Amino acid sequence: MASSQHLPATPGVQLLTIDADDAGQRLDNFLLRILKGVPKTRIYRGLRKGEFRVNKGRVKAEYRLQAGDVLRVPPVRTAEEGAPAPVPGYWTEEVARRIVYEDDGLLIINKPSGLAVHGGSGLNYGLIECLRQMRPQERRLELVHRLDRDTSGLVMVARKPAVLRELHKLLRTDKVDKRYLALVSGKWPRRLSMVEAPLEKNVVQSGERMVRVAKEGKRSVTEFSAQERFTRATLVEAKPVTGRTHQIRVHAQHAGYPLLGDPKYSDPKSEALTADLGLKRLFLHARSLRFTLPGQGRVEVQAPLDPDLESTLEVLRKPL
């Protein structure tokens, strides 16, 4: 076993052999857990420079560890305090209220808008750090998948490595039914039930991550269906068939109907309508998850729209 729960910072290189309990975790999450007190910026810098290696090779932060992997950990210094930055109480209280499903191996949280799923890139904490602070006795909490910081809704967090591996397998084979609600600018056409356009990540000069439709991008497919029609907007259900970054947002923009409240993928019409409605956030909500876990059975969870999004719909429902 990689007996590395309390790995000390020492002058020498450490070689850790990954066991079955730690298999399936992202490398960055594993390092953040075992290197208590080491600044996150130091860990991510070491990953970019290739200081942390698996089986003598360079690997990316998102690499999934496998049983038997040999992880090279270079000498690192801990921060003076030696403790992670505390998560503000208002976030832990909010997350505690938003746990909508729990069993021995899985948590599902209705994530609030504005909370990232994990720290990094200038953020000291996110949903996973929040949960780890709330449940210090649970050493193996890991994100199963991600949501954008501004998107609200259902996020799965595994409590056991075996559940994490099984859910990743279901996600890879498209056996997790994920549905979102989005409010788009304009009248979504009845005939438009699918957008298929390849997507490519592109980092702009400011360092902001953007995604664009490009021929050389990865295959990306989203199914859409109108749920409620308004004079200037449409409430749609979106089902991502593939799981690309910002997929629903970029596909809606590509179709000509940007999401309201989207600061990255908008047009003058959607920006004006967002301002008219007084909408202060992205209108995108992960509302349902359906899947079957072997040995456990069917899991079906729904999360209602947050009050601020529901109130926006009420404004649109009022006659002009």
Could you give the CA distance from residue 238 to residue 268 in angstroms, rounded to a whole number? Answer: 23
pLDDT of residue 87: 85
Same domain for 93 and 158, yes or no, is yes
Instruction: Catalytic residue, from 22, 148, 150, 306: name it.
Output: 148
Long-range contacts at 160-169 (CB < 8 A, ≥ 24 apart): 160/104, 160/105, 161/20, 161/21, 161/22, 161/23, 161/24, 161/25, 162/105, 163/105, 163/106, 163/293, 164/24, 164/25, 165/23, 165/24, 166/293, 166/294, 167/106, 167/291, 167/293, 168/24, 168/64, 168/144
More confident residue, 208 or 250: 250
Does residue 228 form part of some domain?
yes
Please report which confidence band the pLDDT of residue 84 belongs to, taking 50, 70 and 90 as the band edges. low
Catalytic-residue membership of 104: no
Share the mean pLDDT of the chain.
90
Same domain, 231 and 258: yes
Beta bridge partners of 320: none
Instruction: Indicate whether 202 and 306 sit together in one domain.
Output: yes
Statement: residue 128 has pLDDT above 50: yes
Asked if 212 and 274 sit in the same domain, the reply is yes
Q: Are 258 and 283 in contact (CB under 8 A)?
A: no
Q: How far apart are the first and last CA of the chain?
A: 66
My answer on whether 144 and 129 are in the same domain is: yes
**Is residue 79 assigned to a domain?**
no
Tokens linked to 146? 């991600």
pLDDT digit string, tens, across residues 253-294? 999 999 999 999 999 999 999 999 999 999 999 999 999 998
Provide the number of structural domains found in the chain.
Answer: 3
Tell me the pLDDT tens digit for each residue of 54-78. Answer: 999 999 999 999 989 999 999 887 6
Considering Cα of 121, then 127, then 132, then 133, what sign does the dihedral take?
Answer: positive
Task: Inform me whether the pLDDT recorded for 298 exceeds 50.
Answer: yes
pLDDT over 50 at 129, yes or no? yes
pLDDT at 261: 98
Q: Does residue 9 register a pLDDT over 70?
A: no
- Shared domain for 230 and 276, answered yes or no, is yes
Token pair 């859409």 in the structure block, residue: 224
- Identify whether residues 313 and 206 lie together within a single domain: yes
The answer to whether residues 143 and 118 touch, using CB atoms and an 8 Å cutoff, is yes
Compare 88 and 240 and report the one with higher pLDDT. Answer: 240
5 pLDDT band (50/70/90 cuts)?
very low
Q: Which position has the token pair 């009022």?
A: 318
Residues 229 and 274 placed together within one structural domain of the fold: yes
* Domain end position, chosen among 112, 145, 173: 173
Domain-located, residue 8: no
Query: Could you tell me which residue, 167 or 36, shows the higher pLDDT?
Result: 167
Query: How far apart are the C-alpha atoms of 68 and 59, rounded to whole Å?
Result: 16
pLDDT confidence tier of residue 1, bands split at 50, 70 and 90: very low
Residue 104 sits in a domain of what CATH number?
3.30.2350.10
- Domain CATH for 44: 3.10.290.10
pTM for the structure as a whole: 0.77
Task: Please give the pLDDT value at position 79.
Answer: 53
pLDDT at 125 over 90: no
| Residue 109 pLDDT | 98
pLDDT for 215 beyond 60 = yes
Does residue 174 carry a pLDDT above 60? yes
Q: What is the DSSP string of 253-279?
A: HHHT-PBTT-SSS--HHHHHHHHHHT-
pLDDT at 205: 62
Give the span between the Cα atoms of 18 and 3, in whole angstroms.
Answer: 9
- Of the three residues 173, 208, 227, the one that is the final residue of a domain is 173
